């Protein structure tokens, strides 16, 4: 099988690792980021933990968890705007158990497909970190992401 130009773009990108034919795992985030390439379409899925999945030593009230997810969902609605291609679907954002899941599809510029997918993943990570609520004790990945943010600030 010959590689498409989209597959080549993902194979040379530092932020992705091939995980089977047409499937790439994001290596730059603690979240589960998967990209699937079929013909000229790129499907991006990013799974992030819900707030209660990263809070340690106490429970998160349902009303807080629901409000947190609603806010995250509203913020992630713009995820498709960070890509350079105009041929991209608005994201679907769902709550699946203890995860918030964003999915979208893009096509257009094969040489920019990997960069566009990474831009979406980075947007999801940054948006998720911005939504961390002060006052809780966090475990990973929240704790390590907050630590990285503090180090970058200093």
Percent of the chain with pLDDT over 70: 96
Whole-angstrom distance, CA of residue 37 vs CA of residue 72: 27
Whole-angstrom distance, CA of residue 34 vs CA of residue 17: 10
Residue boundaries of the structural domains of the chain? 5-153
**Of residues 84 and 153, which shows the higher confidence score?**
84
> In the structure, what pLDDT confidence band is assigned to residue 4 with cuts at 50, 70 and 90?
low
Whole-angstrom distance, CA of residue 146 vs CA of residue 100: 19
> In the structure, what pLDDT confidence band is assigned to residue 5 with cuts at 50, 70 and 90?
confident
CATH 3.30.1460 fits 5-153, yes or no: yes
Q: Using one digit for the tens of pLDDT, what is the confidence trace for 28-75?
A: 999 999 999 987 899 999 999 999 999 999 999 999 999 999 999 999
């Amino acid at each position: 099988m010959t590689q498409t130009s989209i597959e080549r773009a993902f194979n040379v990108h530092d932020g992705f690792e091939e995980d089977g034919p047409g499937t790439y795992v994001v290596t730059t985030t603690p979240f589960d980021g998967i990209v699937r390439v079929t013909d000229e379409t790129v499907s991006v899925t990013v799974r992030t933990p819900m707030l209660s999945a990263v809070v340690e030593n106490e429970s998160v009230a349902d009303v807080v968890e629901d409000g947190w997810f609603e806010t995250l969902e509203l913020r992630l609605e713009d995820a498709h705007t960070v890509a350079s291609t105009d041929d991209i679907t608005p994201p679907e954002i769902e709550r699946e158990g203890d995860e918030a899941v964003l999915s979208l599809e893009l096509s257009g510029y094969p040489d920019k497909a990997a960069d566009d997918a990474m831009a979406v993943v980075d947007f999801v990570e940054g948006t998720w970190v911005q939504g961390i609520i002060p006052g809780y004790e966090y475990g990973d990945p929240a704790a390590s992401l907050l630590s990285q943010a503090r180090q970058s600030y200093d």
